[in-house]
Structure 1
Amino acid sequence: MNISNPILQALNQRRSIRKFTDEPVSREDLTAILEAGRWAPSGLNNQPWRFLAVHDSDPRAEALAGCTKYGHIIRAARELICIFLEKDKIYNAMKDHQAVGGCIQNMMLAAHSLGIGTVWIGEIVNHGEEVLEVLGLDNDKYELQAVIAAGHPDQQGSSTRKELSELMLEEY
């Protein structure tokens, strides 16, 4: 992989971060991260995602921590970005769920480029109705997709990947 290319470098170096310092995420950085999500591709350009940023000082942050077995990560984060699908904007469920995945990836890569660590909390969707309730959102209008926990990293991330040859169905 050509790691001199900044986008390929970010893809190669971004890691999930689960421990954060006490340093707050600036409003400017949070806005840049949310803007990156806004610019993700979507079928028919329907942009079905909706965001809710919850700061660590917001009492709803502790309520969110109670909605997942990863509450310790939620409590450690300085910012939580909750991502939803707006149900009446869905035109094709599969495409729209895929688009949200791209939106989340955009935000995590943007955060990485700004020196902000993130982790994608997916398990919390098992408690989506409870999350909507603690956030005061309408279950008939929104579907929880994920929560991104974010903050300045207090750990080095690590990961391994299978060789490309293990993932290919045919030789290319």
Structure 2
Amino acid sequence: MITFENPVLEAIFSRRSIRKYTNEPVSREDITTILEAGQWAPSGLNNQPWRFMVITRDDPRHAALAECTKYAHVVRASAACICVMLEKEAMYSEMKDHQGAGACIQNMLLAAHALGIGTVWLGQIVNDQATSLWALNLSPETYELQAVIALGHPDQKGSSTRKDLSELMLEEF
């Protein structure tokens, strides 16, 4: 693994998706810090159309949310889930707002990693917007679910590989 003296680069290169968690709860303070990191993501016209909902393990919606994804076991194991929505009336450009939501989610993943909290970005759950939003008691006319971030204290080491950068380049520079 590449290591850096710079903590931002170190976080980017060392963050991994974590799908197994201990039973230890995540503190309200840590969750607030993670949410604030998302809040500071860039957005077109600084419109900040994202909205967050934190669903902890003891909330009945946690179990309902698990039923909305083939990754139910990950949701059930998590201490909490951060649901990231776009508020439709706050959006001004579908593409730019979706890009902003991605930046928001990445900020939260990196903040959690910096705090020693494991996360995984669950994207498959957005395939059935109506059911997922219903589980959260939210209206699909008002919100568009972007992702659910499952989080908890890690009970596994993450691993990943990446394609060689040359495979991703359209031309040499």
TM-score class, shorter: over 0.9
Runs of 4+ with deviation above 3 angstroms: none
Cα RMSD after superposing both structures: 0.9
1:127: how far off? 1.7
1:62 aligns to 2:63 (yes or no):
yes
Query: 2: CA distance between counterparts of 1:58 and 1:161?
Result: 37
Q: What letter is aligned with 1:141?
A: T
TM-score normalized with structure 1 length: 0.98
Question: Which residue of structure 2 aligns with residue 95 of structure 1?
Answer: 96
Runs of 5+ unmatched residues, structure 1 = none
| Alignment-derived partner of residue 14 in structure 1 | 15
Superposed CA offset, 1:49-79 (max 9, x none): 0000000010100000000000000000001
Paired letter, 2:41: A
Cα drift, residue 85 of structure 1: 0.4
Paired residues, number: 172
1:101-153 Cα offsets, whole Å, 9 max, x none, are 00000000000000000000000001211111121111110001000000000
How far 1:2 moved relative to its partner?
Answer: 6.2
Q: Secondary structure of the equivalent of 2:55?
A: strand
The answer as to 2:155 corresponding to 1:154 is: yes
- Once residues 102 and 160 of structure 1 are traced to their aligned partners in structure 2, the CA distance between those partners, rounded to angstroms, is 21
SS of residue paired to 1:162: coil
Q: 5 Å matches for 1:22-41?
A: 22-41=23-42
CA–CA distance in structure 1, aligned partners of residues 91 and 29 of structure 2: 30
Give the residue type in structure 2 aligned to 1:81.
I
Q: CA deviation at 1:89?
A: 1.0
Identical aligned residues as a percent? 65
Deviations 1:30-64 (A, max 9, x none): 00000000000000000000000000010100000
Q: Which position in structure 2 is the counterpart of 1:171? A: 172
The residue aligned with 1:49 is: 50
Residue type of the partner of 2:44? G
